[in-house]
Amino acid sequence: MATEILMPALSPTMEEGTLAKWLVKEGDTVNAGDIMAEIETDKATMEFEAVDEGTIGKILIEDGTEGVKVNTPIAVLLEEGESADDIDTASSAPPPAAKDDSDEADAPKSAPAEAKAPATPKSDTSPDWPEGTEMQSMTVREALNTAMAEEMRRDDTVFVMGEEVAEYEGAYKITQNLLDEFGAKRVIDTPITEHGFAGIGVGASWGGLRPVVEFMTWNFAMQAIDQIINSAAKTLYMSGGQMGSPIVFRGPNGAAARVGAQHSQDYAAWYAQVPGLRVVQPYSAACAKGLLKSAIRDPNPVVFLENEILYGKSFEVPKMDDFTIPFGKAKIWREGSDVTIVSFGIGMTYALEAAEKLAEDGIDAEVIDLRTLRPMDTDTVIKSVMKTNRCVTVEEGWPVPSIGSYISSVLMQKAFDYLDAPVINCTGKDVPMPYAANLEKLALTSTTEVIDAVRQVTYR
């Protein structure tokens, strides 16, 4: 049957174009791939090739015609044995273009899933371990180390790779003794090539392994952020659920002390923005251990943000055979009735210190540790604010935008009627980190700032 040749779309945005010049005439024979015409789009002049073989029976749109809509018939192609008389038999209806359903009634709601919080927040405040469990004092460093060792004993496919993780036993000694116990096959020193080894880690996770990739600090992971986001976080979605990336990226995040602008940055808000990632930023040793074990078992890519200053800090950790903490469950460190202080990671040190000092003045603060930023347990925050009616957030990252600004927006939407004062976000200052000791101190948030913010929201 004679087929109509239609005005082609030659770019993702083309709706119409100019039929600049025919390079064939009626009666010419064309083969697939032959150039038939030149067509001008808004961007360029394109050559238009034949897809089928046949004879040009009729040219319907003349050279130089402007504004020819995509899918308008421009010529008729005859197959072997057909004549121009057959042209009438060609269908004149253009084939259906891709359906535009942007205004369909059943189009998905534009609001993100997280915003659909229930009217009454469902907050899981169950304890992380059973009452009466024997406890031991442990640093955050030991907790992270133990978590990895336990998971490596449990699962042969878990391996650790990164700079200085094996023979040097970790730049911050988080991987101490792992090489001894698990050998060079499973504890792998990499060259200083974050981009490359992050990608190799993601590929290995697709190939059936459970990589734990250590970045000496998260600052260096900027070299690898494409692999973390484009390769690890998006593959499950892009593959329609066929393949996921069970990988943990971990290392110290945020300011240490006097290491300058390029080595002092909190990536919490950066990674928390990315669907497909889990983002964890623990404060205590128990949380670090329970959450890292969960991270290694999780089938999704996990960004695990540690803190150098917290590594040496000791906490009580439960003595249990298998202790894990689920993602998306905040921890209330201190109950109170006057104000809710929300923080995570090292911000918790300011939050808790401020709460103690405020208590001396009779201000009773509730302190919530988010622990995981994606998924984020905003229900526990909402429930707390419904009780205290005031909220201050604390983090070391920059303010534009921050985890605190997101919490503020959630509270506006979900607890507006309960707020007696605007939410205040205590954040790092909107500047690169300076080196000078006095300036660095000013650039970070502090216990004093948290206390001042609480006084503002409580009008006391």
Residue 202, SS3?
helix
Q: Are 443 and 258 in contact (CB under 8 A)?
A: no
Work out how close the CB of 103 gets to another protein at its nearest, in angstroms, rounded to a whole number.
13
Residue with Cβ nearer another protein (91 or 193): 193
Residue with Cβ nearer another protein (235 or 425): 235
Q: What gap in Å lies between CA 90 and CA 75, rounded to an integer?
A: 11
Residue with Cβ nearer another protein (49 or 353): 49
- Please choose, from the candidates 35, 20, 26, the residue with its C-alpha nearest in 3D space to the C-alpha of residue 65: 20
Q: What gap in Å lies between CA 164 and CA 199, rounded to an integer?
A: 18
Work out how close the CB of 264 gets to another protein at its nearest, in angstroms, rounded to a whole number.
25
Give the dihedral sign, CA 371/375/378/380: negative
Residue with Cβ nearer another protein (190 or 402): 190
Catalytic pick among 16, 26, 164, 263: 263
Work out how close the CB of 47 gets to another protein at its nearest, in angstroms, rounded to a whole number.
7
Q: How many CB atoms lie within 10 A of CB 256?
A: 18
Q: What gap in Å lies between CA 399 and CA 395, rounded to an integer?
A: 9
Q: Are 386 and 117 in contact (CB under 8 A)?
A: no
Work out how close the CB of 46 gets to another protein at its nearest, in angstroms, rounded to a whole number.
5
Q: Are 178 and 145 in contact (CB under 8 A)?
A: yes
Catalytic pick among 150, 194, 306, 366: 194
- Annotated active-site residue 38? The verdict is no
Q: What six digits make up the tokens of 220?
A: 């260096």
Work out how close the CB of 104 gets to another protein at its nearest, in angstroms, rounded to a whole number.
8
Q: What gap in Å lies between CA 353 and CA 451, rounded to an integer?
A: 9
Residue with Cβ nearer another protein (107 or 257): 107
Work out how close the CB of 157 gets to another protein at its nearest, in angstroms, rounded to a whole number.
8
Residue with Cβ nearer another protein (247 or 426): 247
- Annotated active-site residue 308? The verdict is no
Taking the CA atoms of the chain, what radius of gyration do you get in angstroms?
30
Residue with Cβ nearer another protein (178 or 255): 178
Q: For the stretch 115-148, what's the b/e string if a residue is b when 16 or more beta carbons lie within 10 angstroms of its beta carbon? A: eebeeebebeeeebbeeeeeeeebbbbbbbbbbb
Q: What six digits make up the tokens of 385?
A: 């604010």
Work out how close the CB of 167 gets to another protein at its nearest, in angstroms, rounded to a whole number.
15
Residue with Cβ nearer another protein (206 or 418): 206
Q: What six digits make up the tokens of 111?
A: 């609001």
Q: How many CB atoms lie within 10 A of CB 416?
A: 8
Q: What gap in Å lies between CA 405 and CA 394, rounded to an integer?
A: 10
* Block residue for tokens 């249990």: 320
Using CA atoms, how far residue 340 sits from 106, 153, 369, in Å, is 39, 40, 11
DSSP-assigned states of every residue in 314-357: EEEEE--SS----TT--EEEE--SSEEEEE-TTHHHHHHHHHHH
Work out how close the CB of 121 gets to another protein at its nearest, in angstroms, rounded to a whole number.
21
Any idea which residues carry the catalytic annotation? 194, 263
